[in-house]
Homo-oligomer: A and B are copies of this chain.
Amino acid sequence: MRAIVYTAAGGPEVLALAERPDPVPGPGQIRVRVRAAGLNRADIHQRRGEYPAPPGWPADIPGMEYAGEVDATGPGASRWRTGDRVMGLAGGGAQAELLVVHQDTALPVPVGMSWTDAAAIPEAFLTAWDALTFRGRLQRGEAVLIHAVASGVGTAAVQLARTMGATVLGTSRTAAKLDPLRALGLDVGIDTSRGSFAEQVVVPVHVILDVLGGPAFQDNLAVLAPRGRLVMLGFLQGPAVPQANLGMILRKRLEIVGSVMRPRTDEERVELAAGFRELVLPLFETERRKDGRTESEGTDRPSVVPSFRPSVRPVLHAVFPFSDIAAAHAAMERNEGVGKIVLTW
C-alpha cells in the first residue's frame, strides 16, 4: 500500500509518499481502505519529532483519523461487512491506503455524507464532545469559552455546545474568522488581536476548552466562575506559565483537566465511540436528511451556513490530495482557515 511517511524530523519536506506492507487485521479488528483522512496539529508536532506515536500504532505513518470502506475483517470481527462506510480515530497510521483498527472503535459514516466531510468528523467532534460532556460537564444554561474557535475542534465544539443549550464564547487571533462561526452557534466572538481575552469576557464562564496552554493559564483561571472547569486540549503557545498563582483554584474550587485522544486505550476508544454513536451521530443525520443530498451530490467545499437546530456538520477549510501532503502541512501552519484540512487519495 501507499502511505505518507516521516523520513526524518523537520519541516514539511521530510514527508514522503512511500510503499509499505499491507497491514493485516488481527482478532476483533477491521482493515479500512482509507478514502480521506483529516490532518491535525499533532501531525505537525509528530513531524517535528516532538510527538511519537503511542505503542501499538505505526511509528512512521501519521494520521489519527480516517474515513473509508471496510476492506477486510480479522478473526471474530463481525460488526461490519466488507464495503461498509466507516470513520474513526486511530493512534497513528491513518494517512495510508489501508489502516487496521479495532472494529468497535469505528463509526458508521452518516448516510449521504462525502468521504472528505466524514474524515473531518472524528478528531474534531469526538474531542469536542468528550471535552464538553465528560471532562467539562457542561450544563444547559452555562457559558463555555472555546479558544481557537475557528479550528476543527473549535468549530465542532461551538455546534455541540449550542445543542447542549450553552452560551458559546470563542476566541481567535483573526477577527475575520469569527463572523462565519456565528451561523454555527457562536454567541460572543472575541478577537484576541485586540488584547487579552480576559478583559473581553464579560460573563462568568463555567467551562473553558483550551488549546493555548501556559501563557493563557492565569487568564483562564480568572474568567472561570466558581466551580468552573478548565479542559486543556493542547499547547499552541507552549506549556510554560510565566507567573503562576494557584490561589483561584482553591478560592473558586476550580477543576483543571488535561485531555488528549491519542494515548487512549482501545477500551477507552470503544466506550467513547459507543456514546458518540448513540448521542452525536444522529445530529449529523438530521442535517443530512434535511439537505436531501446523496453521497454523489456531496461537495467538499467549505460550508458554514445556518441549519435548523440541533444539527451539526463538519466544517472544512481545504482538501488536499495525499500527494500534496507537504502543501497541506504548510497550509495548517499558516493558520488561515476556518475548520479542518482533509487529505484524500
Interface residues of A (CB under 8 A from B): 213-214, 217, 226, 232-235, 239-241, 243-260, 263
Say which residue of B232, B241, B245, B253 sits within 8 Å of A258 (CB atoms): B253
CB distance B246 to A241 under 8 Å? yes
CB distance B246 to A217 under 8 Å? yes
Say which residue of B214, B244, B253 sits within 8 Å of A260 (CB atoms): B253
Closest to A221 in B: B258
* Identical copies in the complex: 2
CB distance B247 to A239 under 8 Å? yes
Other A-B pairs beyond A213-B246, A253-B260, 16, CB < 8 Å: A214-B244, A214-B246, A235-B250, A239-B246, A239-B247, A240-B244, A240-B245, A246-B258, A250-B258, A250-B259, A250-B260, A251-B258, A251-B260, A253-B259, A254-B258, A255-B255
Q: Of A226, A233, A250, A263, which is in contact with the most chain B CB atoms at under 10 Å from its CB?
A: A250
User: In the complex, A258→B256 CA distance in Å?
Assistant: 9
User: In the complex, A244→B239 CA distance in Å?
Assistant: 8
A136 to chain B, nearest CB (A): 12
CB distance A246 to B235 under 8 Å? yes
CB distance B245 to A239 under 8 Å? yes
Chain B contacts of A249 at CB under 8 A?
232, 256-258
CB distance A217 to B244 under 8 Å? yes
CB distance B244 to A250 under 8 Å? no
Closest to A135 in B: B255
A242 to chain B, nearest CB (A): 8
- Give 24 A-B contacts (CB < 8 Å), ordered by A residue: A213-B246, A214-B245, A214-B246, A226-B263, A232-B246, A232-B250, A235-B246, A235-B247, A235-B250, A239-B246, A240-B244, A240-B245, A246-B258, A249-B258, A250-B259, A250-B260, A251-B258, A252-B258, A253-B257, A253-B259, A253-B260, A253-B263, A254-B257, A255-B255
A46 to chain B, nearest CB (A): 14
A63 to chain B, nearest CB (A): 21
Say which residue of B213, B250, B255, B260 sits within 8 Å of A239 (CB atoms): B250
Closest to A256 in B: B256
A239 to chain B, nearest CB (A): 4
